[in-house]
Amino acid sequence: MTAPMIELRQISKRFVWRLDLASRLANLLGAGIRERAVHAVNHVDLGIAEGEVVGLVGESGCGKSTLGRIVAGIMDASEGEIRFRGKALSAMTEEEHRDYKLAVQMIFQDPYASLNPRMRVEDIIGEAPVAHGLIRRSEMGEYVEKLMQQVGLDPRYRRRYPHQFSGGQRQRIGVARALAVQPRFIVCDEAVAALDVSIQAQVLNLFMDLREQLGLTYLFISHNLAVVEHISDRVVIMYLGRVVESAPTEELFAAPNHPYTKALLAEAPKLVAERRDYTPIKGEIPSPLDPPTGCHFHPRCPFAMARCKTEAPPLREIAPGRMSACHLNEMATV
């Protein structure tokens, strides 16, 4: 296997509720109030090869968006190391770090919130490449028109404001803005979740076209399994901050290994007109503030054993290219 373009090693992100003055004073008097921490991302290893599309799937609160933001450099990890083209971020010079941040761009979920309503489209798209010296200001108009054409927007609209566009068109503006700094890697955080089905299809097609034309690498974050199945080469499933399974797309959908993945696949609505007798998995997603001990999935897992309550299963290779974190896999081999 070639060296991955981006590699995450034991990445963790904790959000800590710092104690305020009153609590600290109360503690002096012996109140015993402790800081509370959310382990949004918990020791995640992930490598993404050049040109690969990795789908990151999970439900609310599983840490998938946090992980995406860490990869895109919007957020710093609490622990662990990110390597870009073999070089650790911490060892990079300022210039290399800037190059990394330009090479990795992000597209957000909400096309209404992610565009500045007071800026014209040409400034939204053209500002960054001018600021970073990729083009001269005098070339901006032409550059923006080219990008707008590439993402399927009419270049005549470049003097308009975001509110004059529909949701699907706004998402295209977001794509053009990301492409403007000539990135190699794009993090899409639920980039099609807010769109109607027919518009979603247009934007997904655009992503696939751009991949072909520009050789882009994607980290595609979504809760929608059908979207991820369609666009990804490899799928990574997260649950409460941990990766529970990772496999090539076909294999994962043909034969899911982890009980959580199985439940997700069974319950994802499919376009088949047949009465499925749902046997939904029980329970709610636990609070990440107070995750269950051992395997995070054990309170909802139909196969949970005594061991699952105390010991978190490590992510192990179960077949070439396939990883899963479940104690059941060890039982099978013993």
Partner 1 sequence: MTIPTLQVEDLETHFPTRDGIVRAVDGVSFDVAEGEILGLVGESGSGKSITGFSILGLIDPPGRIAGGRVLFKGEDITSASPERMRSLRGSRIAMIFQDPMMTLNPVLRVDTQMIETVQAHEKVSEAAARARAVETLKAVGIAAPEERLLAYPHQLSGGMRQRIAIATALLHSPDLIIADEPTTALDVTIQGQILYEMRKLCRDTGTALIWITHDLSVVAGLADRIMVMYAGKIVETGPVATVIERPQHPYTRGLIGSVPGVLPRGKRLFQIPGMTPAPLNLPPGCRFKTRCSRADTLCDTLPELVELHPNHSVRCHHPHDARPLTPTESAA
Site for partner 1, rule CB under 8 A: 59-60, 166-168, 196-202, 204-205, 208, 223-227, 229-231, 249-250, 263-264, 266-276, 278, 280-282, 284-285
Give the H or E element holding residue 321. Answer: none
Of 7 and 245, nearer to partner 1 (C-beta) is 245
Beta bridge partners of 48: 6
Of 168 and 291, nearer to partner 1 (C-beta) is 168
Of 76 and 250, nearer to partner 1 (C-beta) is 250
Please count the CA atoms within 13 angstroms of the CA of 112 that sit on its side-chain side: 5
- The secondary structure of the chain in percent helix, strand, coil, rounded to multiples of 5, reads 40, 20, 40
Please, what's the b/e burial string for 43-76 (b: 16 or more CB within 10 A of its CB; e: otherwise)?
bbebbbbeebbbbbbbeebbbbbbbbbbbbbebe
State in angstroms the smallest separation of the CB of 286 from partner 1. Answer: 10
State in angstroms the smallest separation of the CB of 141 from partner 1. Answer: 26
State in angstroms the smallest separation of the CB of 198 from partner 1. Answer: 4
State in angstroms the smallest separation of the CB of 268 from partner 1. Answer: 6
Q: Where are the alpha helices (DSSP H) in the chain?
A: 21-28, 64-71, 94-103, 121-131, 140-150, 167-179, 197-214, 225-231, 249-254, 259-267, 306-310, 328-333
Of 99 and 267, nearer to partner 1 (C-beta) is 267
The candidate with the shortest Cα–Cα distance to 227, out of 215, 239, 238, 235, is: 235
Of 47 and 286, nearer to partner 1 (C-beta) is 286
Q: Are 167 and 199 in contact (CB under 8 A)?
A: yes
State in angstroms the smallest separation of the CB of 171 from partner 1. Answer: 13
Of 130 and 253, nearer to partner 1 (C-beta) is 253
**Other C-beta atoms within 10 Å of 265: how many?**
16
State in angstroms the smallest separation of the CB of 220 from partner 1. Answer: 12
Residue 156 is classified by DSSP as: G
Q: What are phi and psi of 66, to 5 degrees?
A: -60, -45
Quote the CA–CA distance of 112 and 166 in Å, as a whole number: 9
Please count the CA atoms within 13 angstroms of the CA of 330 that sit on its side-chain side: 11
Of 21 and 272, nearer to partner 1 (C-beta) is 272
The two three-digit tokens of residue 155, written as one number: 């270049």
Q: Are 68 and 236 in contact (CB under 8 A)?
A: no
State in angstroms the smallest separation of the CB of 180 from partner 1. Answer: 24
Of 271 and 334, nearer to partner 1 (C-beta) is 271
Quote the CA–CA distance of 274 and 279 in Å, as a whole number: 15
Q: Are 56 and 188 in contact (CB under 8 A)?
A: no
The candidate with the shortest Cα–Cα distance to 74, out of 63, 65, 62, 83, is: 65
State in angstroms the smallest separation of the CB of 98 from partner 1. Answer: 34
State in angstroms the smallest separation of the CB of 230 from partner 1. Answer: 4
Of 103 and 192, nearer to partner 1 (C-beta) is 192
